[in-house]
Structure 1
Amino acid sequence: MKRWFLILTLISVLGWSLGLLWFANSIQKNVLAPEQSTDAIIVLTGGAERVTTGLSLLSHGLAQRLFISGVHEHVRIKDLLSQISLNEREKINPATIDLGYAAANTTQNAQETAEWVRKNHIQTLRLVTSNYHMPRSLLEFSQRLPNVKIIPHPISPKNFHDKMWWQWPGTFDLIIREYHKLLGALGQYCLRKFTFKGIETLS
């Protein structure tokens, strides 16, 4: 019994470690389609660079609409526009920006955005968030928007070290935490899929 327990423990640790290495190495470092236009740009809050990047993309005409999900209740569009240059602000019509105040996590980001996407008949979108956050975001968004084309636009935060990441305590901790969140999201996805298939079978 103890032997089997030890074997299962070793297999679990090995699986966890290999998964962590896969996750860390799969974090996107570059934007694959930086100039491709979409119907909308979606920004998930959680870092100032995300918002300014989304606004900059809008000012360069890469989409007609911008939706920012997970905004603090006291923040207004003018507050966000003040974070970019005057030259970029002059190219943006504030009426093309919508703010979502309901989301407090990635799952809620996807739910809030899906409602906005359906309401505005969006077929293609560019998703802006941090590079380490992109895998989980794509998992959540693809479930709720299966018929919408999503172009990932990962941002590498200034204090994020993708090379030799295990030597940087801050980056190491961030990757570990995000990896565990991704595992949790994958678990929930599998549970929902299994439950749904089970209901279909019973019916």
Structure 2
Amino acid sequence: MKRWFLIPMLVSFLTWGLGLMWFANSIQENIPPSEQSTDAIIVLTGGAERVSTGLTLLSRGLAQRLFISGVHAHVKIKELLSQVPLNEQKKINPSTIDLGFAAANTTQNAQETAEWVHKNHIQTLRLVTANYHMRRSLLEFSQYLPAVQIIPHPISPRNFHEKMWWQWPGTFDLIIREYHKFLGALAQYCLRKLSFKGTEIFR
């Protein structure tokens, strides 16, 4: 009996481990930044360098609008602009920047962004977030914006070590947590798909 109990556990652990390796390796993929212009740039707050990257891209003219999702209630656009050099600030019209204050997690980022996208008739967007957060973000955003073209723009935070990540306790812990969050988001995505198909069958 013990053997029959151990086999499923070993298979589950092996599957989890292989999934983790795939997830960690996907973070290391070198995606060259696309120079394609989009209708908007979307920045998800929650990590260093995301906002400054979005502002720099806006100053370069890669989009006409910038939406920053998950901003703290008292943050002002002027404060955010101070994160980039003065020469870049001069190229940015503050009226082209909108802030979203409602989102507190990635799912809410996608919901909040979807409302803004539909309101502003956006058809293409560039999504800026950390490389370890990108796969889950794309999964969430694809559910709320299925008809919108999304160009990923992952950034690698300074203190995040994607190479030899298991040797860095902080990075190791972050990847494990993000992997579990991705699995949770994937499970919810699959359940929604099954629920939708079930509804279609019984119509």
**TM-score, with length taken from structure 1:** 0.97
Q: Tell me the residue number matched to 2:9.
A: 9
Alpha-carbon offset, residue 199 of structure 1: 1.2
Taking the aligned partners of 1:25 and 1:47, their CA distance within structure 2 comes to 20
- Contact residue 43 and residue 68 of structure 2 kept, 8 A: yes
The answer to whether structure 1 residue 200 and structure 2 residue 200 are counterparts is yes
Q: Tell me the residue number matched to 1:123.
A: 123
Amino acid in structure 1 at the alignment position of 2:8: L
Q: Tell me the residue number matched to 1:66.
A: 66
Alpha-carbon offset, residue 15 of structure 1: 0.1
> Which aligned pairs between 1:24-103 and structure 2 lie closer than 5 A?
24-103=24-103
Alpha-carbon offset, residue 57 of structure 1: 0.2
Identity of aligned residues (%): 80
Amino acid in structure 1 at the alignment position of 2:95: A
Q: Tell me the residue number matched to 1:168.
A: 168
Q: Tell me the residue number matched to 2:155.
A: 155
Amino acid in structure 2 at the alignment position of 1:86: L
Alpha-carbon offset, residue 28 of structure 1: 4.7
Taking the aligned partners of 1:132 and 1:22, their CA distance within structure 2 comes to 12
Q: Tell me the residue number matched to 1:191.
A: 191
Q: Tell me the residue number matched to 1:178.
A: 178
Amino acid in structure 2 at the alignment position of 1:150: I
Alpha-carbon offset, residue 29 of structure 1: 4.7
Taking the aligned partners of 1:30 and 1:6, their CA distance within structure 2 comes to 39
Alpha-carbon offset, residue 27 of structure 1: 0.9
SS in 1 for 2:38: coil
- Contact residue 29 and residue 156 of structure 1 kept, 8 A: no
Taking the aligned partners of 1:163 and 1:41, their CA distance within structure 2 comes to 28
**TM-score, with length taken from structure 2:** 0.97
- Contact residue 77 and residue 94 of structure 2 kept, 8 A: yes
Taking the aligned partners of 1:45 and 1:187, their CA distance within structure 2 comes to 24
Alpha-carbon offset, residue 173 of structure 1: 0.2
Taking the aligned partners of 2:78 and 2:91, their CA distance within structure 1 comes to 14
Amino acid in structure 2 at the alignment position of 1:191: L
- What do residues 123-175 of structure 1 show as CA deviations (whole Å, max 9, x unaligned)? 11000000000000000001111111100000100001111100000000000
- What do residues 9-55 of structure 1 show as CA deviations (whole Å, max 9, x unaligned)? 00000000000000000115544343111000000001230000000
Taking the aligned partners of 1:29 and 1:79, their CA distance within structure 2 comes to 33
**Please, which runs of 5 or more residues in structure 1 have no aligned partner?**
none
Amino acid in structure 1 at the alignment position of 2:47: G
Paired positions, count: 203
SS in 2 for 1:36: coil
Taking the aligned partners of 2:29 and 2:82, their CA distance within structure 1 comes to 28
Alpha-carbon offset, residue 3 of structure 1: 2.1
SS in 2 for 1:39: strand
Root-mean-square deviation over aligned CA pairs: 1.0
